[in-house]
Structure 1
Amino acid sequence: MAPGARPVATDSVSELIKKCQKAASSKQYNVALDIANTAVQAFERDRSVSLQTRVTLLDLRTALHIRIEAYDQASKDAKMMIRLDRADGRGYIRCGQIERRKGNRTMAVTFYEHGIKHVAASDQYSQLIAKELAAVKDELRVMTLLSKAKDPMTTLPLEVVEIILSNVPYKQHVQMLRVCKAWNRLLCSMSPLTDTLAFPDAKRPVTPKMLHTALKRLREPRRISSRHVTAASSEILARHLQFWHRLPELQHLEIDDKWIPISDLPLSRYGLRSIIFGAETAISFDLVPAILKDCPNLEIAQFKHVTGSRRGETYLDRKSLQLQSENLQVLNIDVHAPMVVEFEHTMLFSGLPSLKSLSCMGLSCFEGSVATKTVDLRHMKQLEKLELERCTMPLIMLPPSLRKLRFTEIIFEEDSLQSSRLALPRRPRPEYTQLENLESLVVYDCPVYPMFIQYPAKTTAPGRLEEFIISTSEDAVPIYRVLFHTGWSRGFKRVHVKGGCVEDIDHEMFLEHCPALEELCLDSAKITGVFITGLLRANPPKLRKITLKNCEQVSSDVVPWAKPRGVEVRLIRGGQELRGRRVRYWD
């Protein structure tokens, strides 16, 4: 064919390949590329062209694209070679060659490694791929040795550095101070080291030297956490908390040691939004309302070790006490046993309208006629979480916003439960709150089930309640069965029942009334393997896990029997998990 002549469409693919090679050897790359394009169109029409010929033609066109530096088109052809025949090494070689020319040696290594994986060791191109891979790795090694490392702290814009460091924990900031002097200077001038004092997860007690070093970095303290400190360090920190002129900016204070005297701290001088006194920090109950009053901006208040005013005191009469805070959202009061604080049912919580979470331990409402007592929390329009433990409570009127409700070791003195024993006149049944937003309900180790929960369960439409945990006695069996016949049970996903009220026949109740059940835990239930087999043979659609604790009559054979049915059964007795080896239950 004369120079510059165009290919004839009627030529065979083999003839076109020869003409293309001849034009390429004469450095007529554009003519050769036209011939290669015609050949590709020809073999797309003619399916009889062998796979080897197709790969050869694409390899030739890829080489031409590389010659004219059309790397994107070359990359498409090279990848098409790999898709046509993964065992042919030419596609991997061309892809690696293109990436090296583009300066992307890391991607070239990836293609060569894929080639070694898919091309047979006996293939003629296997050794060439290995040779090219070694060459690229040597190039990368040399580039790494000769390149000058750049400090990201000085290379990146300061705004980007601040965004990155804001996602790094405080402890890692302290560790990064040792990297170099430049990092030390930069980190010591930025948050959180300039506004936070903390020693999270300290493996040894914080000494005065460690404390002084951290105090020197503080410029505008906003967060102070005192944990794992020695007596000497606590004394130093207490002096700073009392007399430091920079503390008006302090927003978060956490103290969990027994050395710092809380009553001596000028909390009213701080701009606190969060205050946490841990289990090691004893605080008098009378200080709680004073702290809430002195810190009007407080949003979180947790008192995890509340005591009396005098040592050894076990009873406090605070019926005239009222907690007041317009902005408080989270309140936790843990009165440690054996002390009990008695409060007036209409007073204690009436001044907390913005509360979202309330957790109390050791509060009791004894005095007065049962028929006249009601703890009304309906003014807390935003309350989502209520947890009470080791308390004596009358009727509680709950707000409809509740999502999580937990009662542990509560004695409920409701007139509907006690009037027959005390010979008191019954009052008209109150309008119980419809808890349509409730997601988690726990009633654990309570002698009786509260009526202000039982009646809403009967009348409230099936809602969001997914978690239900209850411990029952033999006297509470009727109430337990009634609860599982209410609309609430239709949404149960996680159920935990403690007590001997569950029997073998109750598997029908779970199947009928708990269609969304995913996890079931039974503790001390009077069941046998019949309960498990009856439950699983019905193929409940969502059940995935069953935990049996101290169920003595259940054989360990149910564990391997349930596994092929897609349900994990855990059998725990005496703190040890049992695994059966034999299967006795056949379908």
Structure 2
Amino acid sequence: MASRSGTRIVRGVTSKKKADIEQAAALQRAGQNAYKVGDLQGAIESFTEALVANNEDIGILDNRAATYCKLKLYSQARADARAMVKLAPNDDRGYLRLAKVLCLDGNFDKAREIYEYALQKIPADRPGRNALVQLLKKLQDKLAGGNRRDPFTVLPLEIAELTLRHFSFKQIVAILRVCKGWSRFLGGLSSLWMHVDLTGARSRVPWTSVRNYIHRSRAQLTNATMTNLVPSTTPKVLDMLSRCPQLEHLGLMVPHDQPKEFYLKIKDFRHLKSIVCGADISLSHACVGSILSTLSKLEKAAFLRVWDNPTRGPRPPSTWPQHLPNMKSLTIGSSQENPQGLSFPDVLPGVGSSVYPNLEELGLVWDPARAQSYRFDPVQEEEHLPPLRILDLRGAAVQHNLYSILPTSLETLRLFSGSIETPHLGGNMLTPGENELPNLKTLMFNDTPWVNHSTLSLFLLHSKAPLRTLHVNFCHNINSEDLINILNDPSGANPELKELTDVGVACMAGMDDWGVGNLSAVLPNLKILDLSQTRITGCTIRMFADARTEESAVEKLNGLIIKGCDGVSRDAIEYGRQMGLKIIT
């Protein structure tokens, strides 16, 4: 508690005797000392006696008012503060004390009025005026809900629009409901409504919401991702979207099982550059071919539930296009139960560079993948695959020439399950050819039975692939010793193998603590290691955890995946995490 001392107020021509003033000052000091040591009642008594000796000193009144506040006796504190204002209407201390008491008592509106009144009374050159201004502003912000300001009235239009583009569809809808002003502002920004994405919706979205969105975009929608719709409204939503001439990207994760009707809706989307049909849309092979033929501007297409009815006798004329120069990414998936396996008669063969000269990504997926789900024989003799960067095959029965036909542009190769058809028993499974795969950075095998020492050596040593990611998961024809011998090839056929950073050996035979130690010794740049369903124990965790505090070859390891590793204790996992390892169990 502090107060300005030495100020004496003279009313009219009266004055206090010197003895009374000195006695009041002594009692005031006694009260201040009592306040400091927590004797609030003693402080009140001293200040009261001081005021009996000199009732014209607002410093004593200020001290007593502060003490009353400490005791939460706000009515008494308010009376002393009002007496201060009455004695010295041009002194800021009375107004400051009175406003503070009112705030402590919860009367913020009245406190604001006191600050405003004080600024009318206090001269501009008084030092305390600045404090009044600052406290008034702080209180006004508090009454307005903090430092909130309408961003759409403060930010430039361009900045506000760029900011709003970072919000999701759900968040934009929530912003619309804040107030009418925000609704009008957002509704006037047609560029904000060019992309509708219903992925984050928690419940079914009525078709009227999509209609309103299209209306706000003035039918200039360019991107649409439809999901969580009421199934019966899917045709109506497609009708509305077809009236958006600028629509270029369409994602449909909604139920639809009438291929002919679906094609009649989709064929009107002439400007589409990408289309994704999720697993809830069942399409015939012929329907997919018709879509690709009609929508000639497509650059990306994904159809995740395609079926084909095998028929006896000659096949009907193909509806698939013979030339798709714009296609860059094509994914065809299915889970059709067919004892003869899947049939992609117009896709394979026929995926050569003459049909898809600019194709960069190809995915053929049977889910769940199994051996010989479909025959992958993509090119005729002396033909080549297009300049693929990504090839994803799940459940493919590949041919012996798979390695030799892979394009040099390939960056990612993923093979799940499937089988291999060899030309004759006892021969090499894969024909080496002269392919060095100079751009291959990611190689992933998952439950691929034909991966063994010979085939893996072909990909890792015969090539000069600059691999950074290698997964050999659930491949039961190769063990840890084979893998480590390939990676530690003494001839140094492919020095890029030392640069591997992400390795997966889930369920690999023989992979235990000793094997992991050897693996980490030959891969000095390893950062992520998947050891799921292997025979490791907590010793492996401790080895990598302790290495993080030492200068060693394995100090850069960041993360371990150890799902299904029953030999690892909870204590070891906690120790590894404490040492900074990211461990996924």
Same structural fold, with TM-score higher than 0.5 when normalized by the shorter chain? yes
Aligned to 1:523: 532
Change (3 A) 1:309 1:257: farther
Q: 1 CA distance for matches of 2:560 and 2:247?
A: 48
Aligned to 1:543: 557
Kept in 2, the 8 Å contact 1:319–1:343? The answer is: no
Aligned to 1:380: 386
Aligned to 1:506: 515
Question: Percent identity of the aligned residues?
Answer: 22
Kept in 1, the 8 Å contact 2:277–2:302? The answer is: yes
Aligned to 2:202: 203
Aligned to 1:446: 448
Which of 112, 130, 139 is equivalent to 1:141?
A: 139
Aligned to 1:50: none
Aligned to 1:342: 343
**Which segment is superposed worse, 337-346 or 270-279?**
337-346
Q: 2 CA distance for matches of 1:327 and 1:479?
A: 43
**Which segment is superposed worse, 508-517 or 342-351?**
342-351
Kept in 2, the 8 Å contact 1:289–1:324? The answer is: no
Q: Deviations 1:25-46 (Å, cap 9, x if unpaired)?
A: xxxxxxxxxxxxxxxxxxxxxx
Which of 436, 456, 480 is equivalent to 2:483?
A: 480
Q: How does 1:39-78 map to 2 (within 5 A)?
A: none
Q: 2 CA distance for matches of 1:375 and 1:359?
A: 22
Aligned to 2:289: 289
Q: 1 CA distance for matches of 2:574 and 2:363?
A: 42
Alignment size in residue pairs: 427
Aligned to 2:415: 407
Kept in 2, the 8 Å contact 1:317–1:343? The answer is: no
Kept in 2, the 8 Å contact 1:229–1:257? The answer is: yes
Change (3 A) 1:141 1:469: farther
Change (3 A) 1:546 1:318: farther
Q: Which amino acid aligns with 1:164?
A: T
Offset at residue 186 of structure 1 (A): 3.6
Aligned to 1:70: none
Q: 2:519 is paired with a residue of what secondary structure?
A: helix
Aligned to 1:298: 298
**Which segment is superposed worse, 284-293 or 157-166?**
157-166
Which of 386, 389, 401 is equivalent to 2:394?
A: 389
Q: 2 CA distance for matches of 1:209 and 1:566?
A: 50
Change (3 A) 1:489 1:189: same
Q: 1:334 is paired with a residue of what secondary structure?
A: strand
Larger Rg: 2
Q: Deviations 1:187-245 (Å, cap 9, x if unpaired)?
A: 2233346544543422221224434433433422323333211144224224435xx5x
Q: Which amino acid aligns with 1:401?
A: S
Change (3 A) 1:467 1:164: same
Change (3 A) 1:135 1:440: same
Offset at residue 480 of structure 1 (A): 2.9
Aligned to 2:364: 360
Change (3 A) 1:453 1:440: same
Kept in 1, the 8 Å contact 2:389–2:412? The answer is: yes
Kept in 1, the 8 Å contact 2:199–2:226? The answer is: no
Offset at residue 549 of structure 1 (A): 3.3
Offset at residue 467 of structure 1 (A): 4.5
Q: 2:325 is paired with a residue of what secondary structure?
A: coil
Offset at residue 361 of structure 1 (A): 0.8
Aligned to 2:460: 457
Q: How does 1:159-174 map to 2 (within 5 A)?
A: 159-174=158-173
Q: Deviations 1:446-492 (Å, cap 9, x if unpaired)?
A: 11118666314113447242443432215566653444235453112
Kept in 1, the 8 Å contact 2:437–2:464? The answer is: no
Offset at residue 445 of structure 1 (A): 0.5
Q: Which amino acid aligns with 1:332?
A: T
Q: Which amino acid aligns with 1:546?
A: L
Q: 1:163 is paired with a residue of what secondary structure?
A: helix
Aligned to 1:240: 240
The alignment's C-alpha RMSD in Å is 4.3
Change (3 A) 1:386 1:318: farther
Q: Which amino acid aligns with 1:473?
A: H
Q: Deviations 1:248-303 (Å, cap 9, x if unpaired)?
A: 32212222222474222252552001111112111112222322221121112111
Change (3 A) 1:269 1:374: closer
Aligned to 2:89: none
Q: Which amino acid aligns with 1:471?
A: F
Q: 1:546 is paired with a residue of what secondary structure?
A: strand
Q: 2:444 is paired with a residue of what secondary structure?
A: strand
Q: Deviations 1:335-374 (Å, cap 9, x if unpaired)?
A: 1142443346542454222222222113969779x9x987
Kept in 2, the 8 Å contact 1:204–1:228? The answer is: yes
> Where in structure 2 are there 5+ consecutive unaligned residues?
1-127, 490-494
Aligned to 1:433: 435
Q: Which amino acid aligns with 1:457?
A: L
Change (3 A) 1:348 1:142: closer
**Which segment is superposed worse, 272-281 or 405-414?**
405-414
Kept in 2, the 8 Å contact 1:558–1:569? The answer is: no
TM-score, L = length of structure 2:
0.61
Kept in 1, the 8 Å contact 2:527–2:556? The answer is: yes
Residue 468 (structure 1) aligned with residue 467 (structure 2): no
Which of 238, 251, 254 is equivalent to 1:257?
A: 254
Aligned to 1:66: none
Offset at residue 156 of structure 1 (A): 4.9
Q: 2 CA distance for matches of 1:537 and 1:149?
A: 50
Change (3 A) 1:137 1:155: closer
Q: 2 CA distance for matches of 1:427 and 1:511?
A: 30
Q: Deviations 1:428-449 (Å, cap 9, x if unpaired)?
A: 9442422233232210001111
Q: Which amino acid aligns with 2:252?
A: I
Offset at residue 516 of structure 1 (A): 0.8
TM-score, L = length of structure 1:
0.61
Q: Which amino acid aligns with 2:532?
A: D
Kept in 2, the 8 Å contact 1:503–1:526? The answer is: yes
Q: 2 CA distance for matches of 1:141 and 1:194?
A: 39
Q: 1 CA distance for matches of 2:525 and 2:332?
A: 36
Kept in 1, the 8 Å contact 2:437–2:465? The answer is: no
Residue 494 (structure 1) aligned with residue 502 (structure 2): yes
Aligned to 1:45: none
Kept in 2, the 8 Å contact 1:195–1:223? The answer is: yes
Change (3 A) 1:428 1:233: closer
Q: 2 CA distance for matches of 1:515 and 1:448?
A: 29
Kept in 1, the 8 Å contact 2:503–2:529? The answer is: yes
Residue 272 (structure 1) aligned with residue 272 (structure 2): yes
Q: Deviations 1:508-543 (Å, cap 9, x if unpaired)?
A: 431331111122221332445566667777742212
Q: 1:506 is paired with a residue of what secondary structure?
A: helix
Q: 2 CA distance for matches of 1:193 and 1:560?
A: 47
Q: How does 1:549-564 map to 2 (within 5 A)?
A: 549-554=563-568, 558-559=572-573
Change (3 A) 1:144 1:478: closer
Q: Which amino acid aligns with 2:225?
A: S
Q: 1 CA distance for matches of 2:236 and 2:188?
A: 24
Kept in 2, the 8 Å contact 1:433–1:456? The answer is: no
Q: 2 CA distance for matches of 1:280 and 1:402?
A: 31
Kept in 2, the 8 Å contact 1:318–1:343? The answer is: no
Q: 1 CA distance for matches of 2:321 and 2:483?
A: 36
